[in-house]
Chains A and B, each alone.
Chain A
Amino acid sequence: MPADTPPLLSMRGIDKSFPGVHALRGVDLSLAHGEVLALLGENGAGKSTLMKVLAGVYPPDAGRILLAGAEVRFRTPQQARRAGVAVIHQELNLIPALTGCENIFLGQEGSAGLVSRGAEARAAAALLARLGLSVPLHVPCRRLTVAQQQIVEIAKALLHDARIIVMDEPTAALTPLETRQLFRIVGELKARGLGIVYISHRLEEIFQVADRIAVLRDGANVRDCATAAVDRPALIEMMVGRALTEEYPRRVPRIGPPRLVAEGLVRGRAVRGVSLEVRRGEVLAVTGLVGSGRTETARLIFGADRPEAGRVLLDGRALRVRGPRDAIRAGIALLPEDRKTEGLVLAHALRDNFALPNLSWLSRLGFVRRRLERERYAEYASRLRVRAPAPTERARNLSGGNQQKLVLAKWLARRCNVLLFDEPTRGIDVGARYEIYRLINDLAAEGKAILMISSDLPEVLGMADRILVMHEGRITGEITDARRADQRQIMELAVRGAEEAA
């Protein structure tokens, strides 16, 4: 590309403040045609705010945005979309009840308000064909996989003549196979001259997909360079502001007798006879493809769903769990996969969220002991380094990492002996991740039994003492010496499970 053509996107000196927070301090960002730019930074570094400014959600306090050399001012997201900026959020924005086709054309149904189904279907199919993809377009979106929904979103963006696509954590809920397919699509979009801003906490992906890397920290540019010019440790140091000597803290496991034993758990097609045990002081990782029944198994142990068969033993005694209340009383905690919908009451104060599972011991005769509650919250919030303006702040105003720490805090205060972590670091930045890992190690060292569900294979390998691989509701493989395993070994177990099932 000749040097004198203006870049596809140029954001200059973007400044944005919220009351109490200076979110962006004169940030610059540029993006060329056919380029994939990885936007990196810890939670709270300003990535989302910058992208919201680009997408017309927030007006910038200062700074200019140029699209192909022409200055633009977006007042609404609609204006940004019309100008060719599409954002694919982590939480996909499709309407579950509508079909893929209807979602793609939503808002573009033609001027007369009449819908021409045939023409739409043909146009959508042609669009996907050009990308070399096929997705069932005539079933409601809620029945599509996350990867398929993403493709629908991408198709929607292309139909709106998007020139810039922002992808926010696109692989968070994808299997490795689906991730590879996504990268192929990204390559296709590149070839068509689109610019892509790629946001992810998974650094290994960055090296695979990005041409250039821009790092933000505390709302300011830290570095902007070609991907080839940096390596992983350097990248982490740029994001965190200090060198992390290791991503996974070391621990000498002291593993005792079995603590949690599940025998023959069955529920529908999701869990078809799962038996497992977690020992004192052990970190057991359960991995496998999304939908393999990992989360469902944890929910059965916790009593969130009722098992059709099977039983759970804690320290050798059979548990009678009719609901989470019983499990909690017995000393089992579940840190759910989706902390926003299952872990926290977002509209409520941090302290109220913290107290919720602990009210039985934070009260006397049904009355909340408010001083005790204040003290305990302060204790655990500082121990876990929850960064928040005040205990009365609403949970929704915290970053993902701090929200996860809050969920952790409420269960730690409960002093549970078995902790079920479901994707404990999804969407969480490197720095906060490290703190959560250290905490998991501390808990194991105290003799608690930890069951950690994760799709992040480096994390599984870095943290677990033992690994179970699940596929279609069954345990299909076990790696007893996790320290010496590698990613290929896990993938082989998962795939072999798939082949055996087929």
Chain B
Amino acid sequence: MTRKQAIRRGLVGLANYGMLPVLVLLCLLFSVQTITEQQPEGAAAGRALAAAILARTPPRPRVAAFVQAHEADAALVQALAAGLEAAGGELVATARGDAAEAARVIEAAAAAGTPLAALACTRATAAWPAVRAAARDHPTLGDPPVVTPPGYLWPQFLMPANIRNVANSISIIAIIAIGMTLVIITGGIDLSVGSVIALAAVLATLLIRDGIALGPLRLLGGSLEATPATMIAASLVAVAVCGLVGLASGALITVFRLPAFIVTLAMMLIARGTAKDLTQSESVYQIPPAYTWLGGQSSLGGIPNAVLLMLLLYAAAWVLMHRTVLGRYLYAVGGNAEAARLSGVPVTRVLLFAYFLCGLLAGVGGIVMASRTKSGSATYGEMYELYAIAAVVVGGTSISGGEGSILGTLIGAFIIAVIETGMNLTHVPAERQPIVLGGVILGAVLLDRFKQWAWRRRAAPAD
């Protein structure tokens, strides 16, 4: 086997495995590049601190702790006390708050005249002047060392906060990419999804702020005092409108046989224009803080709600595509519409469904976005259609239709997110990042081409 053949075979193998190895490779790369000393926090820091103190002081140490007044440090103190007690030591004093509080605690300890074995601190509190000067200013303390939790080496990239950040940052694009995958598998395209995001966000926030009144009956609205029911109803109405926008695109494409590219391009302008017109290009922010439940910091078991929603939608889409008759029809229409029609597939209805769902999911993306920012603006979602298409293509779905997978799109979306956050962590200038992203998209399409070569070579030639 020549070198050239070997390279080609390698590429083909890679292509057959999909883009998962690429994602894993990227994660590894950024992990290695971002290995830094990490500071433990909370209970883990408390345990580490207790161990460090016990290792360097005489038995049964008496210790004073200096921490800030937040939750993580409270957990630290609790774990520290437990660790010390287990070894017969004692946490005799705890300063919670600021440097002044620390000074008071040190004064009190010095006044009591009992020597301390160590001053347990975090990185932050160890820098407080009172702590740094304690041994010098108060000889009665017995020259206690300042001990901080030891750091450890770990990739910044693999920190839970960063992983959450990656998932959260891509959740909106990943959600709209589901609809885009369906549409592309049928052999179409939907360029309007970015604008539909803005439309959904604007509609939902406007409905919450101003509401709709039916005569004397106020159906929605309530501005900052809006109830959760109002917010949910407003969001659902916005999503439904977006579904109708998709349905309109689908109807124009199927009934009049217009090219999807042109129809959704027009719809992109119409949706964006409508959003701008409704808001007079101003941001809508008079909505209750509770609205951030979906896209904000709320989470279930550490997974942000938006990410959870994304995962649920992917699971549902996978079932749709791989287990239902409708899924088969979607693939068949994209693979060969005429053969599908002659096999009894209701081609028009299948296409309408694809565009309807695509609009609907773009609407959901818009709601997540409005919730995350607690406002609606006509500028939301610009270029998102292109990122969604990129995720679909990087995920291995053929742009000519009939082939592709929903999980591939999820991987594609994560590849984009990993590259973006990875480049931020490794301080690649923001100006240069799109270049890399563009290269990755080209690479994905090239891999797809290799896959097709592989096919043609594998194909037993038919006489």
- Residue ranges of A at the interface with B (Cβ–Cβ < 8 Å): 18-21, 23, 41-49, 52, 302, 304, 323-325, 328-329, 334, 336, 341-348, 352, 355-357, 359-360, 363, 366-368, 370, 394, 396-400, 403, 410, 429
Q: A44-B460, A49-B461, A328-B344 are in contact. Are A347 and B403 (CB under 8 A)?
A: yes
In the complex, whether B155 has a CB less than 8 A from a CB of chain A is no
User: Do the beta carbons of A368 and B344 come within 8 Å of each other?
Assistant: no
| In contact, B462 and A399 (Cβ under 8 angstroms) | yes
Q: Which residues of B contact A46 (CB under 8 A)?
A: 463
15 contacts between A and B (CB under 8 A): A18-B458, A18-B460, A21-B460, A44-B462, A48-B462, A324-B344, A341-B336, A345-B335, A345-B336, A352-B332, A356-B328, A356-B340, A359-B328, A363-B324, A397-B462
CB distance from B33 to the nearest CB of A (A): 39
Contact check, A348 vs B335: say whether CB atoms are below 8 A apart. yes
Whole-angstrom distance between the Cβ of A334 and the nearest chain B Cβ: 6
Give the chain A neighbours of B342 by CB distance below 8 A: 302, 304, 324, 334, 336, 342-343
B463 with A43: CB separation less than 8 A: yes
- A348–B331 alpha-carbon span in the complex (Å): 9
Pick from A46, A341, A356 the residue with the most CB of B within 10 Å. A356
Residue contact A347 to B402, C-beta cutoff 8 Å: yes
CA distance A325 to B340 in the complex (A): 10
B339 touches A52 (CB 8 A): no
The CA-CA distance from A342 to B462 in the complex, in Å, is: 18
Closest to B455 in A: A394
Q: Which of A360, A396, A410 contacts B459 (CB 8 A)?
A: A396
Given A323-B341, A325-B344, A346–B462 Cβ distance below 8 Å? no
Within the complex, which residue of B325, B339, B345, B459 is in contact with A344, where a contact is CB–CB below 8 Å? B339
State which residues 126-156 of B face A: CB under 8 Å: none
Q: Contacting A324 at CB < 8 Å: which of B323, B324, B343?
A: B343
B225 at the interface (CB under 8 A from A): no
Given contacts A328-B343, A343-B339, 20 further A-B contacts (CB under 8 A): A18-B460, A23-B461, A42-B463, A44-B463, A48-B462, A302-B342, A304-B341, A325-B346, A341-B336, A343-B342, A345-B332, A345-B335, A346-B335, A347-B335, A356-B328, A359-B329, A360-B325, A360-B344, A366-B325, A368-B328
* A residues near B344, Cβ cutoff 8 Å: 324-325, 328-329, 356-357, 360
Q: Are B324 and A352 in contact (CB under 8 A)?
A: no
Answer yes or no: B37 CB below 8 A from chain A CBs: no
Given known contacts A324-B344, A356-B332, A368-B324, A18 and B339 CB-to-CB distance under 8 angstroms: no
Q: Which residue of A lies closest to B349 (CB)?
A: A325
Most buried by A among B346, B402, B455, B459: B459
Beta-carbon nearest neighbor of B331 in chain A: A348
Alpha-carbon separation in the docked complex, A102 to B167 (Å): 55
How close is B348's CB to chain A, nearest CB, in angstroms? 9
A394 CA to B455 CA in the complex, in Å?
A: 10
By a CB distance below 8 angstroms, the chain B residues around A341 are 336, 338-339
B326 within 8 A of A: yes
C-alpha gap A403/B336 in the complex (Å):
15
B residues with CB within 8 A of A: 323-326, 328-329, 331-332, 335-336, 338-346, 402-403, 455, 457-463
Contact at A367–B460, with CB atoms within 8 Å?
no
Select one of B323, B324, B332, B457 contacting A348, CB under 8 A.
B332
- Cα–Cα distance between A302 and B459 once the two chains are bound (Å): 33
CB distance from A394 to the nearest CB of B (A): 8
Residues of B within 8 A of A343 (CB): 339, 342
The verdict on A52 contacting B332 (CB below 8 Å), with A342-B338, A343-B342, A367-B324 known, is no
| C-alpha gap A328/B325 in the complex (Å) | 17
Q: Which residues from chain A contact B462 at a C-beta distance below 8 Å?
A: 43-44, 48, 397-400, 403
Give the distance to chain A from B15, nearest Cβ to Cβ, in Å. Answer: 15
Return chain B residues, CB-CB under 8 Å to A43: 462-463
Given known contacts A328-B344, A367-B325, A18 and B457 CB-to-CB distance under 8 angstroms: yes
Expressed in whole angstroms, the minimum distance between the Cβ of B147 and any Cβ of chain A is 62
Q: How far is the CB of B450 from chain A (nearest CB, A)?
A: 15
Which chain A residues lie closer than 8 Å to B460 at the CB level?
A: 18, 20-21, 23, 44, 397, 399
Given A345-B340, A352-B332, A368-B324, the answer on whether A19 and B463 have CB atoms closer than 8 Å is: no
- How far is the CB of A453 from the nearest CB of chain B, in Å? 15
Q: Is the pair B328, A355 in contact by a Cβ cutoff of 8 Å?
A: yes
Chain B nearest Cβ from A415, distance in angstroms: 14
**Shortest CB distance A146–B (Å):** 20
Nearest-neighbor residue (CB-CB) of A21 within chain B: B460
Q: Which of A45, A347, A410 contacts B463 (CB 8 A)?
A: A45
Known: A323-B341, A363-B325, A397-B459. A346 touches B336 (CB 8 A): yes
- Nearest chain B CB to A69's CB is how many angstroms away? 29
**Nearest CB in chain A to that of B345: its residue:** A356
Which residues from A are CB-within-8-Å of B329? Answer: 359
A52 to B344, CA, bound (A): 37
Give the residues in chain B near A302, CB-CB below 8 Å: 342
Q: A329 — which chain B residues lie within 8 A by C-beta?
A: 344
**Alpha-carbon distance A222/B452, docked complex (angstroms):** 34
Find chain B residues with CB under 8 A from A399 CB: 460, 462-463
Question: Which 3 residue pairs spanning A and B have beta carbons closest together?
Answer: A345-B335, A399-B462, A328-B344
Set A21, A304, A348, A400: member contacting B402, Cβ < 8 A: A348
Given contacts A342-B339, A345-B402, A356-B340, contact A41 B463 (CB under 8 A): yes
In the complex, which residues of chain A have a beta carbon less than 8 angstroms from the beta carbon of B458?
Answer: 18-20, 397
Bound CA span A304–B323, Å: 28
Q: With a CB–CB cut-off of 8 A, which chain B residues contact A52?
A: 461
- A365 CA / B370 CA spacing, docked (Å): 36
CA distance A480 to B341 in the complex (A): 35
Q: Is the CB of B463 within 8 A of A368?
A: no
Complex Cα distance, B344 from A410, in Å, reads 12
Could you tell me the distance in whole angstroms from the C-beta of B295 to the nearest C-beta in chain A?
32
B187 to chain A, nearest CB (A): 11
- Bound together, the chains give a CA A434 to CA B328 distance in angstroms of 33
A326 nearest CB neighbor, chain B only = B344
> What separation, in Å, do the CA atoms of A18 and B329 have in the docked complex?
32
- Chain B residue at smallest Cβ distance from A336: B342
Alpha-carbon distance between A360 and B335 when the two chains are bound, in angstroms = 20
Q: Which residues of B contact A44 (CB under 8 A)?
A: 460, 462-463
Chain B residues near A396 (CB-CB < 8 A): 459
A337 CB to closest chain B CB (Å) equals 11
Are B461's CB and A48's CB within 8 A? Answer: yes
What is the CB-to-nearest-CB distance from A371 to chain B, in angstroms, rounded to a whole number? Answer: 12
Instruction: Kindly list chain A residues whose C-beta atoms are within 8 Å of the C-beta of B338.
Output: 341-342
Q: Provide the residues of chain A in CB contact with B328, threshold 8 Å.
A: 352, 355-356, 359, 368
Contact check, B326 vs A366: say whether CB atoms are below 8 A apart.
Answer: yes
Q: How far is the CA of A410 from the CA of B328 in the complex (A)?
A: 15
> A429's closest neighbor in chain B, by CB?
B463
Separation of A271 and B404 alpha carbons in the complex (Å): 41
A346→B344 CA distance, assembly (Å) = 17
Measured between beta carbons, the chain A residues less than 8 angstroms from B331 are 345, 348, 352
**Closest-CB distance, B415 to chain A (whole angstroms):** 24
Complexed CA–CA distance, A47 and B325 (Å): 39
How far, in whole Å, are A394 and B339 apart by their CA atoms in the complex?
Answer: 15
Cβ–Cβ < 8 Å partners of B341 in chain A: 304, 323-324
Complex Cα distance, B345 from A357, in Å, reads 7
Least Cβ–Cβ distance between B184 and chain A, in angstroms: 14
Q: Residue on B with the closest CB to A52?
A: B461
CB closest chain-B residue, reference A344: B339
Name B336's closest neighbour in chain A (CB-CB).
A345
CA A324 to CA B323, docked complex, whole Å: 24
On chain B, the residues within 8 Å of A304 by CB distance are 341-342
Residue of B nearest to A373 (CB): B328
User: What chain B residues lie within 8 Å of A352 (beta carbons)?
Assistant: 328, 331-332
Q: Give Cα distance in the complex from A400 to B325, angstroms.
A: 28
Chain B, residue nearest A402 (CB) = B462
